[in-house]
Amino acid sequence: LLYALKRVLGVGISLANAIIKKLGLKPNKFLGLLDKEQITKIDEMIRSPTKYGIPPWLVNRRRDKLVGEDRHLIGSALTLQIKKDIEQMINLGSWKGIRHSKGLKARGQRLGRTRPRSIIHHLKR
């Protein structure tokens, strides 16, 4: 059950473990052995974990700029929000936005041999 929940995009091992502990389930139980009530309860807890007493530091959108509260996004909503955030950084012209637009690392990693070779030609110009 623990690793089945972890496969959902936006749910990590810590959040999956917290959900399982809140529901009182065993982490090594198979997902197919759960009844529909337990599955719907798990689904509700994944979609809004702070309503069920899960701490806000396990949520992936803390103090969201648009809403102003803690939100948890899963699946395609998470990927779309990340793309929107990157587009916003590029439009603002922030340092991370510039790095994203050039296809470079944005979090301070070195560029030694990990960069694609096409970027080298772009940097030499």
57-89 pLDDT, tens per residue?
A: 888 888 877 777 888 888 888 889 889 888 988
Q: Select from 3.30.1330.10, 1.10.8.50, 1.20.1250.20, 3.20.20.80 the CATH code of 2-58.
A: 1.10.8.50
Give the pLDDT of residue 48.
86
* DSSP H helix total and E strand total for the chain: 6, 0
Give the pLDDT of residue 40.
92
Residue 124 banded pLDDT, cuts 50, 70, 90: low
Collapsing DSSP to helix, strand or coil, 84 comes out as: helix
Q: Domain residues of the chain, as ranges? A: 2-58, 76-106+114-124
Give the pLDDT of residue 37.
92
CA dist list (Å): 69 to 60, 65, 66, 125: 12, 8, 9, 44
Question: Could you read off the pLDDT of 26-54 as tens digits, one per residue?
Answer: 888 888 888 999 899 999 988 888 888 88
* Crossing angle (nearest 10°) for helices 76-92 and 95-102: 110
The dihedrals phi and psi of 94, each to the nearest 5 degrees, come to -70, 165
Contacts of 6 (CB under 8 A, 6+ apart): 12, 13, 16
Question: Could you tell me which residue, 119 or 52, shows the higher pLDDT?
Answer: 52
Chain mean pLDDT for the chain: 83
State the Cα–Cα distance between residues 95 and 16, nearest whole angstrom: 34
Share of the chain above pLDDT 90, in %: 10
Give the pLDDT of residue 59.
85
Give the pLDDT of residue 105.
82
Give the pLDDT of residue 36.
92
Beta bridge partners of 71: 61
Longest dimension (CA), the chain: 61
